[in-house]
Chains A and B, each alone.
Chain A
Amino acid sequence: MKKLSSLSASVVTLAGALVFGATPMVASAQSKEALTFAGATFAESGRGEKLKAWIEKFNKSQGAIEVQPVALPFSTLAKTVFTQMGGGAGPDLIRFDLIDYYAAVQAQRILAIDDAIKETDYKFSGPNKYMKVDGKRYGVPFEISNYALLYNPQLLKGGKPPANFDEFLASAKASSGNGVFGYAYRATMAESAGFWQDLCNFVYGFDGRWSDGKGNLTINSPKVVEGVTAYKKMYDASATPKGADAATYRRMFWERKLAMEIDNGGVAGIFNQQAPDLPLAAAPSPFPTRAQGLILAPITVNANTKHKAAALTFVNWMLQPENQRELQSILGAASVATVVERTPEELRQKPWFKVYDEQSLHSVPQLVQGFEAKTPEIQQVVLEQVLQVLQGGAEPQKAMDEAQRLVTARVLRK
């Protein structure tokens, strides 16, 4: 009987502790307005954890709002979020790529935020102009990143970067062998978003553009064909790890098994964080012109959100100078929404910052100008035709003629 009484007492005590002890905790969690922020960067090694810590600073500064980062893979972020949005749900805040930003704006899936973000309150950087659609702002740049040639001087003959495309090809071939590859890029539909970025760099570098900006497609123009031909020459050079995805070849780079790759400044930052002793240098991409792609990833507010005010509180917090400075240092050789000057110390420690920063003048968004909202569909058609060139033996001109025809018929329905 005594045993039973003590057991009962324990149960009652435990139940009491659970009921009364848990109540304040539950109340505390429920008292904060929780909102989700989806982005591919949260899944990146190195930067992901630092970004989560940066968001946690916001959470600590707030008594009523809590932002929860949601890491989604880069290759499936848009598909996942768009499906959720179509169903009337989705994360409250989303870090889109520019290509998906325009599609989301056109479908009215993200909110116009002009009322909360005043142009005069912040010193926005140049690419901020791409955030306006029909005069309205639907997002704020979260990350702006340029492209440059990253190379490991120890793996290049003479330690110098190539200055033009012929040298680039020769250098890639000369560096290959004994488990080392000269160059790496993407060429599979499994990584269509990255494949498009890499292709844009070649096409823009050869002065090609996907449209003339006046409503006419130029997918089969001579300059675009030159860019595609160059892509094919590199593919056939036996200097690339064919089929390797970006995660694999980036790892190969910091493991000193890859001599060169053209990548954005964020990746340069990841390399530096993952392997601080890695001999890393940057140079302008070795193409006839300096034009290269531009990564512009805006932060946007889901039109389905029930926490608009809280979401905008976070965006305004993000735009404060000290938070912008910290975000820029986390992102690496990338810049943020507002102008943040790099310190001499930063430039001394990471000289490749300068190459990326100077590239800003020559960066072009990876969009089909005038058909921004249709770019994801155009991208798919173009990439499939480029694969016909790379793997199916098609002539670049014929393949691009076919891409132009298919885009006109299938995407533009003309």
Chain B
Amino acid sequence: MTSPSLTAKVPSREMRQAKAKAARVGWTPYLFAAPVVLYLLVFQGYPLLQELYLSFTSTSLLSPGKQVSIGMRNYTDLVGAAEFNRVLWTTFIYTLACVVFSVGLGLGTALLLNAPFRGRGVARSLITIPWAAPPVAVALIFVWMFNAQYGVLQQAFQWVGLSEGMEGWLNNPSRALPAVLLTTVWQIFPFASVVILSSLQGVSSELREAAVIDGADRLSVFGAVVWPAIRPTVMLLTMFITIWSLRRFDLIWLMTQGGPIGRTNTLVIELYRRAFTFRELGEAAAVGMVGLSVALLITVVYFRLSLRAERAAGQR
């Protein structure tokens, strides 16, 4: 009979095997990971630290080598400034609308494209075209479509009485953001659609059939069978689209440059304006750090929600 204390001190066979295996593996995993870690440190970590440092300085674009330390001034100037609050609000509205409309439309079209109908393959191919188009080309085409003199969309809006005056949507303070959103959603919803569609194809058909046999209607089948299966994908998609929308520059800049009168001025546009229009790299870095904090916050919230969902699923 062995005492419990003795048993605890002598490693089990499995543990010994695991230790031996670990000894054999040695540094190999670290060597494989090293290039990526090195890349991230050089091209992400170092610039990030530089940006953090810049945000505490007054640095001109014309003399980036001359950095004058000013402590928290760039941040205190941002906090409470009505103009910056408006930038945050515009960013929030733009991001929220992008997520709601693109995921919503993506889900709807994915459900449609998952149902059997003639020409489904062609439809699935066609829907990816907006996503495949380069954002610069999309922005320029939409700028022409919204052009007050020659644009087809502008003409269409005029016919239905939705266009006052002649300034066009992109120059109208109350319509510029909807116009930019329309363009953005048109371009990104196909991505949501394709991702959700691939997730839908993994939903067990036996489960659906069983639910139908049990008398469930379409909505109940979706709620009880389909949604739980695609929920993690939709969550991940939501996080991606949120972060992409927070940092989207090309479409907005090319369409409005943040105007008119700041109505489409998001965090990234404000960063660019401060860096290249006002030539204040320190202020721009502070705006960048605020944007990074928001993105990190969203990522943390997402992972906490995912963890909670996993635990809840485990308890069931």
Contact = CB atoms under 8 A, between A and B. Distances in A.
A388 B260 CA distance: 9
A392 B173 contact: yes
B62 A103 contact: yes
A84 to B, nearest CB: 11
Contacts of A392: 173, 261
A66 to B, nearest CB: 28
Contacts of A87: 64
Contacts of A21: none
Contact of B276 (A79, A189, A242, A243): A79
Contacts of B261: 384, 387-388, 391-392
Interface string B145-178: 0011100000000000000011110111100000
Contacts of B276: 79, 82-83
A358 interface: no
Given A243-B167, A380-B278, A188 B259 contact: yes
Contacts of A380: 273, 277-278
A189 B259 contact: yes
A104 interface: yes
Contacts of B170: 243
B61 A83 contact: yes
Contacts of A109: 62-63
A280 B87 CA distance: 45
Interface string B201-220: 00000000000000000000
B184 interface: no
Chain B: interface secondary structure? loop
Interface residues of A, number: 30
A85 interface: yes
Contacts of B63: 86, 107-109
A380 B166 CA distance: 25
A387 B149 CA distance: 20
A320 interface: no
Interface residues of B, number: 28
Given A188-B259, A188-B260, A248 B149 contact: yes
Interface string B267-305: 000000100111100000000000000000000000000
A243 B172 CA distance: 9
Given A242-B168, A243-B171, A377 B62 contact: no
A229 to B, nearest CB: 18
A190 B168 CA distance: 14
Nearest to A244: B149
B60 interface: yes
B259 A190 contact: yes
B258 interface: yes
Chain A: interface secondary structure? helix
Nearest to A249: B149
Contact of B61 (A82, A189, A238, A243): A82
A127 interface: no
A241 interface: yes
A243 B62 contact: no
Contact of A391 (B148, B173, B273, B278): B173
Nearest to B83: A406
B62 A387 contact: no
B262 interface: yes
Nearest to B278: A377
B257 interface: yes
A243 B273 CA distance: 21
Interface centre among B63, B167, B257, B258 (most CB of A within 10 A): B167
Contacts of A244: 147-149
Interface in A310-354: none
B166 A241 contact: yes
B258 A243 contact: no
B256 interface: yes
B172 A189 contact: no
A376 interface: yes
Contacts of B259: 188-190, 387
A86 B61 contact: yes
B98 to A, nearest CB: 22
A108 B276 CA distance: 18
Contacts of B171: 187-188, 242-243, 391
A377 B62 CA distance: 13
Interface in A392-411: 392
Interface centre among A82, A107, A190, A192 (most CB of B within 10 A): A190
A384 B172 contact: no
A86 B64 CA distance: 6
B166 A238 contact: yes
B265 to A, nearest CB: 10
Contact of A242 (B60, B167, B173): B167
A212 B296 CA distance: 49
Instruction: Give the 5 A-B residue pairs with the shortest CB-CB distance, closest first.
Output: A107-B62, A242-B167, A243-B171, A189-B259, A243-B168
25 contacts: A79-B276, A82-B276, A85-B62, A86-B61, A86-B64, A87-B64, A103-B279, A104-B62, A107-B63, A108-B63, A188-B171, A188-B260, A189-B260, A192-B277, A241-B166, A242-B148, A242-B166, A244-B149, A377-B279, A380-B277, A387-B260, A388-B261, A391-B171, A391-B261, A392-B261
Interface of A: 79, 82-83, 85-87, 103-104, 107-109, 187-190, 192, 238, 241-244, 248, 376-377, 380, 384, 387-388, 391-392
Given A242-B165, A391-B173, 11 more contacts: A79-B276, A83-B61, A103-B279, A107-B60, A189-B258, A190-B259, A192-B277, A376-B279, A384-B261, A391-B172, A391-B260
